[in-house]
């Protein structure tokens, strides 16, 4: 049985909500800079109130509801993850460091061997 994904079409009201959210966010940033002479408390209050209004407008749109549902589902999935214990994490980190050390020595030896073969034996540049 195949499931089909149903895409919702944005309505003009939804588009207006998104435009209002963008306008409120831009307005909050502009107000922050325009109110610089009023003191930092007024500046930050205007910015936070404007951004809160922008978030509220965005959250009331269909896109905002979909984003909230996605975040909720993602959080549910994160809760299902079996995280390693401290001992396991330290062991895996030690394995990675050991592997990197061994690979670096191997690559250095390979580089020096090829350098010796090409420059000393084949080309005879280092005599």
Q: What is the pLDDT of residues 90-122, one digit of tens each?
A: 999 999 999 999 999 999 999 999 999 988 888
- Expressed in angstroms, the distance from the first to the final Cα of the chain is 75
Per-residue confidence (pLDDT) for residue 11, from 0 to 100: 86
Every domain of the chain and the residues it spans: 12-81, 83-127
Per-residue confidence (pLDDT) for residue 120, from 0 to 100: 86
Per-residue confidence (pLDDT) for residue 7, from 0 to 100: 59
- CA separation (Å) from 102 to 1, 57, 73, 89? 51, 55, 41, 20
- CA separation (Å) from 117 to 86, 93, 104, 105, 122? 46, 36, 20, 18, 6
Per-residue confidence (pLDDT) for residue 86, from 0 to 100: 96
Per-residue confidence (pLDDT) for residue 2, from 0 to 100: 60
Counting as low any pLDDT under 70, the low residues of the chain are 1-9, 126-127
Per-residue confidence (pLDDT) for residue 45, from 0 to 100: 95
CA distance 108 to 121: 19
Per-residue confidence (pLDDT) for residue 122, from 0 to 100: 85
CA distance 85 to 127: 57
């Amino acid at each position: 049985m195949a499931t089909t994904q149903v895409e919702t079409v944005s309505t003009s009201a939804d588009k207006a909500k998104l435009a209002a959210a963008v306008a409120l966010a831009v307005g909050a940033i502009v107000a922050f800079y325009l109110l610089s002479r009023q003191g930092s408390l007024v500046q930050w209050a205007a910015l936070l109130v404007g951004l809160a209004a922008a978030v509220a407008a965005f959250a009331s749109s269909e896109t905002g509801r979909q984003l909230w549902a996605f975040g909720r589902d993602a959080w549910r999935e994160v809760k299902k993850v079996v995280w390693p214990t401290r001992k396991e994490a330290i062991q895996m980190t030690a394995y990675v460091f050991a592997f990197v050390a061994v690979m670096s020595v191997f690559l250095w030896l390979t580089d020096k061997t090829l350098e010796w073969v090409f420059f000393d034996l084949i080309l005879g540049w280092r005599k």
